[in-house]
Structure 1
Amino acid sequence: MIVTSLPDDPQLYRRTVDGERLIAVFSSLVEPIGRALPATSEVVLHDLSLLPNSLVAVYGDVTGRRVGDPATDLLLEQAVKGFPDQNLGYETKLADGRKLRSSTMIIRDVAGVPVAALCINTDVSTWQSVMNIAQSMMGRPATPDSAEQLEATAAIRPVQQLASAESDKGAKPAEVFVKDVDELAAYLIRNAITAEGVPVKRMKKEHKIQVVRVLKGQGMFLLREAVEMIAESLEVSRFTIYNYLNEIEESDNAADTSVVADRKA
């Protein structure tokens, strides 16, 4: 289920009776799963009907998040664009530089509607340090991070490599773990403006519309007061942001109509 315009109603996924049951079941499994994993792992459950503050159960302290904290930027974007059934073994970094390997499994109700996201985050920095110590003891130089070596050392074999935090300095990480909605909003807005490559003071209308388009695709409008925050950052009025959203929707609808006409021709 994908919703195109959300400034007036941030809730995207409605709670169902089956969804309620699934949330209860998986909430009770978070701790047992966490205890079965290495101490460097964390298990998190998100209730998608509570987005953006969707975290309802957590075991472990890898990212330092607690119940009531918001979704990551990646989960928020998928909530708008559509969830894959699973993202397994993707790599990212924490703000302090620690490297994680993460997996996210989407839980659906009997109707196939996404209900929850069960996430496992493992800090592989410790395993990298152990590997480097072992190599040093064997008279070999410590090597740079290697996805293959990390997987073997940490006994993690991902089925699918979706993203990598082993990127150049300054590159956007695959996923950002935040502890409050304001931090998440600021991160999304800052990145969207930076990506446009033009200071706000010098932006023309087309630049600002593109920023709003990017933020819409990233799920920014799932956050309450999103319109106000974006308007302030772009130095325009709330009314202007609503106009931009209407223009984006009209442009997208026109593009869809054109594609359909081309296919018929």
Structure 2
Amino acid sequence: MKKLHPILKAFVPLVKALAETLGPDCEVVLHDVSDPEHSVVAIENGHITGRNVGSPLTDFGLYLLRSPRFRDVDYVANYLTRTNDGRKLRSTTVFIRDEFNTTIGFLCINYDTTKATAVKEFIEQFLKLQNLEEIAGTKEEKFASKVDELLAEAMQEIKSLTGKPLRFASREEKLAVIKKLDEKGFFLLKGAVEMLARELGNSKFTVYAYLREARRKNDSIMI
């Protein structure tokens, strides 16, 4: 290793420590800008960009050295760069300055986002959900452990739609309730007719009559 400025030399162990901490997808590079053509003086995980000790400063690094815009900037964090084969990197450059505030080096971190992007895309696809209300007209699926719970939940939903006790509903309102419950498969459950009859204040035979009428009307609409 060529003779380094003492401040830069102190950063060499940090290069190794950061690389071990951040893992094999993270390249950590120390540049000595006094020799732009061979600025890399320490590097870990150089396989990410294909560089090694003795590699030159990047074009962006040269720009940072010359641009007055970055004269008093301490670091540039989390910007997008790309490898020669197109992989996206999440990059950060830290300015290293001497006691005269002159930039003597850069500490650069380049994180290969390929794996992280694949995970992100998988999670986004995995969590891409269809709205059940758009599919079936119901807000959510009920996971009841007993039939009685399923019946009660269906009944509660219907009562919340009418806004009043079902026994006070008109005949047409009761027919609409029965039609809605029939569409939900309510009458496929044992005890459904009896429960509804109690809520409506009618006999189960009246409920059966309402159900037949509702289905006739529905069939005629479909035809």
List aligned pairs for 1:1-150, cutoff 5 A.
Answer: 20-60=5-45, 61-82=47-68, 83=70, 84-139=73-128
Gaps of 5+ in 1: 1-16, 142-265
TM-score (norm 1): 0.44
Deviation at 1:92, TM superposition (A): 1.7
**Distance of 2:35 and 2:61 partners within structure 1:** 13
Equivalent pairs, count: 125
> Which residue matches 1:221?
none
TM-align CA RMSD: 2.3
Question: Per chain length, whose mean CA-contact separation is higher, i.e. which structure has more relative contact order (CA < 8 Å, sep 6+)?
Answer: 1
**Distance of 1:113 and 1:134 partners within structure 2:** 45
Kindly tell me: are residues 106 and 134 of structure 1, through their superposed partners in 2, closer, same or farther at Cα, counting changes over 3 Å? same
Kindly tell me: are residues 46 and 140 of structure 1, through their superposed partners in 2, closer, same or farther at Cα, counting changes over 3 Å? farther
Deviation at 1:77, TM superposition (A): 1.6
Deviation at 1:54, TM superposition (A): 0.4
**Distance of 2:61 and 2:129 partners within structure 1:** 40
Which secondary structure does the structure 1 equivalent of 2:10 belong to?
helix
Deviation at 1:134, TM superposition (A): 2.6
Which secondary structure does the structure 1 equivalent of 2:76 belong to?
strand
Task: Report the structure number with the largest CA radius of gyration.
Answer: 2
Identical-residue share of aligned pairs (%): 35
**Distance of 1:140 and 1:125 partners within structure 2:** 25
Kindly tell me: are residues 67 and 134 of structure 1, through their superposed partners in 2, closer, same or farther at Cα, counting changes over 3 Å? same
**Distance of 2:111 and 2:129 partners within structure 1:** 26
**Distance of 1:140 and 1:103 partners within structure 2:** 36
Deviation at 1:136, TM superposition (A): 3.1
TM-score (norm 2): 0.51
Letter in 2 for 1:130: V
Kindly tell me: are residues 50 and 138 of structure 1, through their superposed partners in 2, closer, same or farther at Cα, counting changes over 3 Å? same
In 2, are the aligned partners of 1:47 and 1:56 still within 8 Å (CA)?
yes
